[in-house]
Chains A and B, each alone.
Chain A
């Protein structure tokens, strides 16, 4: 009797694993930081954007209902990776969208590559996803640190700001931001007059800023993010650094600007993939977001919606949720929605236009959240890692 139950259990288990993928609902997974450091720029609102995309698509694709699974990885790679694995093994997940934190994105991409499911990384910044860790199943959709550095670096040096000083967060992410930007600055004929590394989560930047000021550089580049960025900005204003140097943030989202206020950020240069006020279609999306959340969407929220919609379109076109076919379709599509007009390259990198924005002064800002003016638009081929520079094996044929 026990053996029969054992066999039955195993059989049901296998059936469950094998069957779910090709019939039943099309399940989209979304795992991001819902509760800590990055919850505002992506978080629960991002999850809702994926749901909106599903609803706006009609709730069904290929006559199968669309289901959205959501989880909080709490910035822990093992939670992200186990959830992804569980959803694929037990729930028949079709596709995974990854949110903020590069560590979790890389971990999730390993799972999706192993199990052959499409993975769209949106919130994470590490360019490793399309270089050392590239995969035929991963797409890096929104931005990456190389693009941010190139856009800011290029545009600013060309505008005459040749001398740079870096204030860098002392960990891998900070170094890569600084490294990418330094390469760009030098390539454009600029010089890095100095740099200083601050410990992660430092609360006081006064001493580092003093060093920056005495360097007499034209640009103070902040190679840090989140709380470090906001504290550094505040201190820069407090110590009058902003009067003698232009400040460039290498990873800034509109939520950071909002929480600091225009008084603290006016004149700040930053790169991003999208701004809510850049055209009518974007504004329409933004107003819908504002109606629900009483704040404007960040570029990540827009990317979440866009990625989910385009995935569903690809599934429709390919006629299946099979990962290989859908990935091929996605890489052949020419996108045209309010978020992106680009294309996905063989290494999974979305090549689309990036922008250099400058934060308006309080006088220039006429409506709430009217924070940016566009300084430059950088075409995708110039903004992202070029094929020659890439370390991804998929590009070397």
Chain B
């Protein structure tokens, strides 16, 4: 089993097993770890389930005779204590390796993006360019803010919150991180493919939590460069759409605390 895990961790084409393959290099590492861990868990599960089912079938009551009244079996007990220890140590080893890959942060990323979560929307600032994309979800779920980013480039994200705890989460990148007041989180994403990635707030943050959506549009590096240049030339960086419903959330942008979520 352990061998199987090792083989699977090193192979390239892995089955989905429900989880996305990870659109970033970091997410792909997580996906490989997930696959190995899940297969190990399934193997253990099948073995244990078989034992349970076999026991209830084989040892169902067939006579009034009392079975043998044994209480201990030291060798067996040692085995089923030691084997799980070995399994979790192996899982831990792979976990630490993957964790180091996922959490590795470049000192000078290709694009530095500051992400601010607020009730209830996102602000994306391209550090050093003056370009800001900010919006709250308006026409849920059809229109929401989109940050444009280059493919095959390290994107250094600085994640903060303007008010309460939010969860930064993108589908298909197999990664999330809290945006918290008082905490600045740094992580890198390297997108492997172009495409549009749907993101949303995963940590409950009040009334319109479920509408706090955003998008990452990952484009070629040249397309990204021209987009950024166009944005810098435009005076109006801020795509803000006044919407009464979100007026409360908008206020939090400028630092005042928001009103009731009631």
Co-complex (A, B):
no
Which residues of A are in contact with B by a Cβ distance under 8 Å?
none
